[in-house]
Amino acid sequence: MSTRARTYGGATSTERRSKRRTALMAAALDLVPDVGVGGITVRGVCSAARLNDRYFYESFRTTDELLLALFDEQIVLASTAMLAAIADSAPDPAVRARAAIGTGLRHLTADPRRGPLLIGSQATEGLRARRRDLVKSLAQIMSDQGRALLAGQQALDPDMDLAALTLVAGGFELVTGWLRGELDITREHLEDFLVTMVTARRRS
């Protein structure tokens, strides 16, 4: 025998809970540029979301868990955009590198809240682990793209994975420094440099 979900204000309890969770994550993202990742508190997020503290704990056990969910959400958005750009680009290493890097940088800077979140991704052990996983994931994508586009012995290069990991990790640090204002260059200049760095090894 099936039972219909009870509604309140036209929404089921599951829908209302999902809406509150979304509101809490949006509030946290709004707060990061002002207070930093380390300044996120349950009270601050709930106040910004205009929700009672008890609603925080129906979705998250701690602010660390909230921040991990927020970081994961942004990773999915960025990765989806970058993979779509790669798929739509010509099968050329330089073209695909520019599609991925350019899309990633534009996505990162399109919302002024994303940069501070990336900068703050070293603030907790959980976020540091997520950042390491992201670097590894992007390096694997780079390696897979390289092997798909290169023919012969070059595609079998055993150091391709190491090179990709080194390039992505270094690129991440460079982008983070740029977001902090440590590099007086334009986004276009940064994109050109990263594309050259990524494709230089393949030309050698």
pTM for the predicted model, two decimal places:
0.84
Compute and round to an integer the Cα radius of gyration of the chain: 20
Q: In which band, very low, low, confident or very high, does the pLDDT at 147 lie, cut at 50, 70 and 90?
A: confident
Integer CA distances (angstroms), 112 to 80, 101, 180, in order: 19, 18, 12
What per-residue confidence (pLDDT) applies to 141?
A: 86
pLDDT computed for residue 10 by the predictor: 64
Q: Give the 3-state DSSP-derived string for 63-104, with helices as H, strands as E and coil as C.
A: HHHHHHHHHHHHHHHHHHHHHHHHHHCCCCHHHHHHHHHHHH
pLDDT value of residue 92: 86
So what CATH class is 11-61? Answer: mainly alpha
pLDDT, greater one: 150 or 31: 31
DSSP secondary structure, 10-77, as one string: TEEHHHHHHHHHHHHHHHHHHHHHHH-GGG--HHHHHHHHT--HHHHTTT-SSHHHHHHHHHHHHHHH
- The string of pLDDT tens digits covering residues 83-104 is 999 999 988 888 988 999 999 9
Overall CATH class of domain 62-203 = mainly alpha
* pLDDT tens profile 58-74: 999 999 999 999 999 99
Residues of the chain with CATH 1.10.357: 62-203
pLDDT of residue 3: 43
Residue 41 has a pLDDT of 97
Start-end of CATH 1.10.10.60 domains in the chain: 11-61
